[in-house]
Every structure is written in C-alpha cells, then in structure tokens.
Amino acid sequence: MNKLINDPANVVSDALRGIAAAHPELHVDHENQIVRRGDAPVRGKVGLVSGGGSGHEPLHAGFVGPGMLDAACAGEVFTSPVPDQIVAATTAVDGGAGVLHVVKNYTGDVMNFEMAAELAEAETGVAVVAVVTDDDVAVQDSLYTAGRRGVGVTVLLEKIAGAAADQGRPLAEVADVARRVNANGRSMGVALTSCTVPAAGKPTFDLPDGQMELGIGIHGEPGRRRVPAAPAAEIAEMLLTPILADLDFTGGSGVIAFVNGMGATPQLELYLMYHEVAEILGKAGITVARSLVGSYITSLDMAGCSVTLLRADDDILRLWDAPVRTPALRWGA
C-alpha cells in the first residue's frame, strides 16, 4: 500500500485538519467531523446538509460554501456518518427556514440521515426534508443499497439545489428542485483498477490487468459485468447505452454532461473520454447545454470514470450558472 497517510485509523480526522488549515473560510468541527460554512447559519436561507463515507473527495466537504452546501458530515472511509454528526450539522446551519438533507442511496446513509432528521426535529423543531439520490443505472440493489445507488448526480444536485436555496426559495421548493434533478439524472461508471481502503491495506477487489468492471460502485461494489479493456470510444458507448435507454435526453433545454474521474485517472484521459461522450450525444441528437469534466466524486485511488447526464430545464440551467464559491467548484463569485 503506497499512500500519503499516517495511522490508517486517523486518515479522515487528519485530512479534516488539512481542510481547516487550507480553507480558513470554512469551519471544521473536529469532534463531530463536520465541515461547514464559516458564516452559517445564514438567516432565512434553507440550509443544505450532505455527507457520507469519506474517500469520495471533493464530495462532500469540497462543496461547502456559498451557493452550495452549508455543511458536510464526514463519515469514516466508505462508512456512513452517524446520526449525532448529522444532528449537529443540521442544527448548526438552521437559519430558520429549515434544512435539506442530500443523501446518496446507501442503506447506512439513508437510515442515519432519517434518524438524525427525527432527532433534530424533536430536539429543536427544525424542519428537515431529505432528498435521496439514486441515479446509477448499472444495478438495481447492490452490496449496500436497496434500489439504485446514488452517484454523480449528487454533485450536480448539490450545486443546483444550493443555488435555489441561495435565491431564498422555501424548503419545499428547494426540495422540489432537488427531486427534479435526481429524477432527470442518470449515471454509470467503470473501474480500470480497484481502490485500496487505508484500514484494509489491500485492494478491495481483484481486477486483473486488461480487465474492467463495468457499472462499478463508488465503494468498489460489483457492477454489471467484467469485460476486457477496450478503447475509450467503446467504453463511452458501454456507459452511455444504458443511460440513454433509461431516459429520453433529447429536446428540452439540453443536458448537463458530466465526465467524472474515479480518483486515479489523469485529466488527459477524462477530456479524451468527454470527447467520446460528446460525439455519441451529438449523434443521438442530444444537445449539451453545459459540461463538467474532472474528479468530483471519487473512490480513493480507483482508476476509471463515470458519466452522468442530467436532462435540464431553463430553471436548472440558471441555477447551475449561478455563482458558487467552494473549494472544488467556484465560478461567478
């Protein structure tokens, strides 16, 4: 195992110290492993809280800031945050307009966010609405999931719902935007290598050189099938075919096309993949309205990528374009 870590048991708390040092505009609650906006709660604004297992950075702490999340709860690597963390984050960002929980569809996350919402409501009367993402078309049910897994659309949702909250929309409307994003987003990923969880010290799964895991989960959960390595153009087809079969992306205001790196894949390859994706979408008569290329929802040191398409409407595009100022996504502000 070749990693830049100290004690494998402390990777998350050690990394949070680095986030605190590098981003003085954020407040890190080390006891609860929460990263929040330094100016939270913002009075009258719906608060956005997300979180999940660590190892997917910049998701979620890298998306904390004006125009996106108010707080992120960092679980241990690939492990859900506990309800106490989520309660602390929820009450810390409640500006009186309620709090939206953005939850990826993994059993532990869903359960702990549900429990936290009940506790926070009971303790402080804060109104909480949860939106669960489940955009991964690869598999129905999985190692840690009932239903589809929540993956790349989570990044887009946090940006878009964050902008809606920033505009002063009420909780029910921010939640509607979030549900609309999830309902119109689909993803699929591929792994070229396994990842290695620091505490385990060895690869999560065995993937021989020259093989790929198609439909990989972000924790290394099995995908659809093991296939021989293929050129990028064919990989793009393998990822997009199930996505395009699942939802009609033609018409409307076009799509937001997102090519995401799994953590160990160079940007050169991601742009190369984006070109292949754009070619296929062009041939399918799908208009790309916006794009995002980079490693935003990762799986530690896994090589590979995922593709997410979001069918946009004009409201979604305006919210996407709105200013955002976080460590990992920043424009217009």
Instruction: Cite the active site residues.
Output: 56, 219
Supply the minimum distance, in Å, between the C-beta of residue 194 and its own copies: 11
Binding mask 185-224 for its own copies (x = CB under 8 A): -------xx---------------xx-x------------
Binding to its own copies by residue 331, rule CB under 8 A? Answer: yes
Measured between its terminal Cα atoms, the distance across the chain in Å is 40
Residue in the block written with tokens 């919210």: 319
Among 29, 269, 315, 321, binds its own copies (CB under 8 A): 269
Helix-then-strand count for the chain, H and E: 8, 14
Supply the minimum distance, in Å, between the C-beta of residue 4 and its own copies: 4
Amino acid, single-letter form, for residue 166 = D
Supply the minimum distance, in Å, between the C-beta of residue 244 and its own copies: 18
Contacts of 290 (CB under 8 A, 6+ apart): 254, 256, 257, 312, 317, 320, 321
Burial (CB < 10 A; 0-12, 13-18, 19+), residue 8, is: middle
Judge contact between 262 and 189, C-beta under 8 A.
yes
Q: Which stretch binds its own copies (CB under 8 A): 81-89, 105-113, 169-177, 272-280?
A: 272-280
DSSP 80: P
Binding to its own copies by residue 272, rule CB under 8 A? Answer: yes
Compute the Cα dihedral for 250, 131, 303, 63 and give only its sign. positive
Binding stretches for its own copies (CB under 8 A):
1-7, 11-12, 14-19, 21-22, 54-55, 57-58, 62, 77, 192-193, 209-210, 212, 229, 231-233, 235, 263-276, 278, 288, 291, 293, 295, 298, 300-301, 303-305, 325, 330-333
